[in-house]
A and B are shown apart, each in its own frame.
Chain A
Amino acid sequence: MHIPDGYLGPATYGGLWAATAGLWVVASKRLKKTFKAAEVPLLALGAALSFVIMMFNVPVVGGTSGHATGAVLLAIVLGPWAAFISLSIALAVQALVFGDGGITTLGANCFNMAFAGAFAGYMLYRLVSAGGASRKRLLFSAGCGAYFGINVSALLTAVELGVQTIMYKGADGRPLYNPFPLKVTIPALMAGHLTVFGFVEAAFTVLSLAYILKAHPELVRTRT
């Protein structure tokens, strides 16, 4: 789901960089208030962990493979703002140090996966688990949240890619960046995420959370 460099035009990636930078400032301020200084290492480890979680490679149909992002799992354990910062750092290290993902598109990738994915998934998790905290209900809520979160990220990615054909055209009418219109990008991305990758993310989140609830149930907390 990472958008590489070259697929988005300057106004799109610039706008998303600006929006994400603003969110980073808000998140930093919020975390400085809610996180004690002693908990800063937890955030750093969360970032390292999300990087490593993306290494788990689950094969899917057609010889391709997908990986979980762990966005909702991190949001459940660390809180959504901390998950946003942790995932952003993981994506930044991937792009800057290893050349995976994109640098001009880093703002877009962080916005889609780290912000929208984590928050949307976490909000659904809170909504579904409200009013009861049985183990089964928590796991079900986490699965729903993870499935929803990754699909929200995929939809945003599809829309950002699809609008390039409307925003940027050469003098002869040729698309200058991603050449596929919305009617192609939305089905292409959503089909895979609704049928396969959403379930991979949900399964990973549920299995991980089940293990945490068994070993350290006190870690599943509600941080806003």
Chain B
Amino acid sequence: METNRGAAEKEIPGWLCLREPGRGGGKNLSGKRPVLERTLKSVLSFFDDAVFNEEVSKKKNMFLQGTDPRVKMLIILALLAALSFVKNPAGMLPYAAFCVLAAALSGVPLAKYFKRLFPALLFTSVIALPAAFNLIVPGRPLLMVLKPGAAFAKTGIFITEQGFFSAVGLILRVLVSLMLIFLLTFTTRPVDFIKTAGSFAPGFLKTLMSVSYRYIYFLARRLEEFIFVQRARGLGRGGGRERAWAGARGAALLLLALELKDELKFAMEARGVSGHSIREHRQKKFHFGAREAALLLLALTAVLA
């Protein structure tokens, strides 16, 4: 391997091996072009998530993928609502167990499933942990951090029982909610998802949701192109110029959207859109079979546990 790399380096001209700032994703760039790099990161993460969702949701003969999307959505949303009524952190664990079991049965890669939860875990922990202290939530002392008598904390600083359980409860509630939502998004093809979500909304909003979803990808791809062009030119470094670039590109996307309006109007008409609402797509017959019954049973077990 090393030999091959060495041979390859010998064949590549020296000028091509130089890491010229502004022409690649080098480490030094992230510091100098924060707007470009961070925006690119969000665009790429958007496409990554979309591809991952599509791949997992297309798996055949799996538990949740084979369930009627309307039944699946209603049950998971009902679980989400039921979870919000649970007061005791321990009462949220059956919901988490349901998610892990359903994800495993549906072929969702568990490592990726938990990895997607990590940013939320980090963010919520940073927010929730100060609440464990008596300065935010007063209550019975659980763990003394600073003894009473200090000039800036006469009553001392300690973790309270109420604060601790409140912080744990918040972290668990946020994580289990996300587990439920990811279960839904990972196992439902985005197009079916929009169609199903739209079936609960009035015709006008359904049309908008369905059409706009398709154009999100188009505009995100344009944004990605804008970034690559800007990177390749090596222009616009520095906070002020980068912010100006972001403003101009935002406006350019808006103008692009306005220019697309007529094209989209003709496309919508050709596909059966008349007036303000889209002509009803014939949706699959509502199906409640063994899979749907199993999902309902599992959900009820989680709620009653």
A7 to chain B, nearest CB (A): 7
A155 to B261 alpha-carbon distance, docked (Å): 35
Residue of A nearest to B223 (CB): A52
A-B contact count (CB 8 A): 248
Question: Is the beta-carbon distance between B193 and A97 smaller than 8 angstroms?
Answer: yes
A212-B257 contact, Cβ under 8 Å, with A4-B120, A48-B212, A203-B243:
no
Question: Is the beta-carbon distance between B254 and A208 smaller than 8 angstroms?
Answer: yes
Not counting A53-B253, A59-B34, A207-B248, a sample of 19 additional A-B residue pairs whose C-beta atoms are within 8 angstroms of each other reads A4-B178, A5-B84, A6-B124, A9-B84, A45-B264, A51-B219, A52-B220, A53-B250, A55-B220, A65-B34, A68-B250, A97-B185, A99-B185, A173-B138, A175-B162, A179-B167, A207-B247, A208-B248, A216-B258
Option from B38, B42, B46, B211 in Cβ contact (under 8 Å) with A44: B211
Question: Is the beta-carbon distance between B35 and A56 smaller than 8 angstroms?
Answer: yes
Residues in B neighbouring A219, C-beta threshold 8 A: 258
A6 to B243 alpha-carbon distance, docked (Å): 34
A7 to B123 alpha-carbon distance, docked (Å): 13
Residues in B neighbouring A149, C-beta threshold 8 A: none
* Residues 131-169 of chain A, each 1 if its beta carbon lies under 8 Å from chain B, else 0: 000000000000000000000000000000000000000
Question: Is the beta-carbon distance between A210 and B253 smaller than 8 angstroms?
Answer: no
A174 to B134 alpha-carbon distance, docked (Å): 11
A1 to chain B, nearest CB (A): 13
Question: Is the beta-carbon distance between A174 and B84 smaller than 8 angstroms?
Answer: no
* Residues 15-43 of chain B, each 1 if its beta carbon lies under 8 Å from chain A, else 0: 00000000000000000001100110111
Question: Is the beta-carbon distance between B84 and A10 smaller than 8 angstroms?
Answer: yes
A174 to B167 alpha-carbon distance, docked (Å): 10
Q: Does B303 contact A (CB under 8 A)?
A: no
Question: Is the beta-carbon distance between A48 and B250 smaller than 8 angstroms?
Answer: no
A58 to B246 alpha-carbon distance, docked (Å): 9
A180-B276 contact, Cβ under 8 Å, with A6-B170, A41-B265, A53-B250:
no
Binds A, one of B5-13, B104-112, B143-151, B197-205: B197-205
Q: Which of B45-66 contact A (CB under 8 A)?
A: 46, 49-50, 53
Residue of B nearest to A70 (CB): B250
Max chain A Cβ within 10 angstroms of own Cβ: one of B46, B139, B182, B208: B208
Dominant secondary structure of chain B at its interface with chain A: helix
Residue of B nearest to A176 (CB): B87
Residues in B neighbouring A111, C-beta threshold 8 A: none
Residues in A neighbouring B204, C-beta threshold 8 A: 28, 31-32
* Residues 268-292 of chain B, each 1 if its beta carbon lies under 8 Å from chain A, else 0: 1000011110000000000000000
Question: Is the beta-carbon distance between A211 and B252 smaller than 8 angstroms?
Answer: yes
A97-B194 contact, Cβ under 8 Å, with A59-B35, A172-B139:
yes
Measured as residues with beta carbon below 8 angstroms from the partner, the interface class of chain B is 35 or more
A15 to B100 alpha-carbon distance, docked (Å): 31
B179 to chain A, nearest CB (A): 10
Q: Does B131 contact A (CB under 8 A)?
A: yes
A40 to B216 alpha-carbon distance, docked (Å): 16
Q: Does B181 contact A (CB under 8 A)?
A: yes
A-B contact pairs, 7 of them (CB 8 A): A41-B260, A59-B34, A97-B194, A172-B139, A175-B162, A176-B169, A181-B136
A: which residues have CB within 8 A of B?
4-7, 9-10, 13, 24-25, 28, 31-32, 37-49, 51-53, 55-59, 65, 68, 70, 73, 77, 85-86, 89-90, 92-93, 95-99, 102-104, 170, 172-181, 184, 203-204, 206-212, 215-216, 219
Question: Is the beta-carbon distance between B131 and A5 smaller than 8 angstroms?
Answer: no
Question: Is the beta-carbon distance between B84 and A6 smaller than 8 angstroms?
Answer: yes
A165 to chain B, nearest CB (A): 8
A28 to B277 alpha-carbon distance, docked (Å): 11
Question: Is the beta-carbon distance between A103 and B80 smaller than 8 angstroms?
Answer: yes
Option from B50, B84, B120, B185 in Cβ contact (under 8 Å) with A13: B84
Question: Is the beta-carbon distance between A85 and B208 smaller than 8 angstroms?
Answer: yes
Residues in B neighbouring A180, C-beta threshold 8 A: 131, 136
A52 to B214 alpha-carbon distance, docked (Å): 12
A24 to B206 alpha-carbon distance, docked (Å): 12
